[in-house]
Amino acid sequence: RVLRGLLRLVPQPHAHTRFLGLLFGALRSRGAREALCGVWATLAELEDGSDAPAPAPFPRAEAARPRRGGKTAADKAAEPAAAPRPSLRGVRPTALALQQLNAFAPGAIDEPDYDARIDAYSSIPPLLESGLSTACALPLLCQCVHDVELDDIALRHSATHTVGIIVQHAAAAAGRERAAAGEDGGGT
For residue 11, the model assigns a pLDDT of 83
Q: Which residues contact 93 (CB under 8 A, 6 or more apart)?
A: 123, 127, 130, 132, 136
Containing 68, the helix (H) or strand (E) segment is: none
Which pLDDT score is estimated for 186? 56
What is the model's pTM?
A: 0.74
Q: Which string of b and e fits 24-52 if b means at least 16 CB within 10 Å?
A: bbebeeeeebebbbbbbbbbbbbbeeeee
Residue 74 is predicted with a pLDDT of 46
pLDDT at res. 89: 77
- One digit per residue, the tens of pLDDT, for the chain of length 188 reads 677 777 788 888 888 899 999 999 999 999 999 999 999 999 999 886 644 443 333 333 344 445 555 555 445 444 444 433 445 678 999 999 999 999 999 998 889 999 999 999 999 999 999 999 999 999 999 999 999 999 999 999 999 999 999 999 999 988 888 998 887 665 55
Query: Quick one: pLDDT at residue 9?
Result: 80
Domain ranges, ordered by start, for the chain: 2-56+85-184
Does the CA dihedral 126-92-133-155 come out positive or negative?
negative
pLDDT computed for residue 94 by the predictor = 97
pLDDT of residue 41: 94
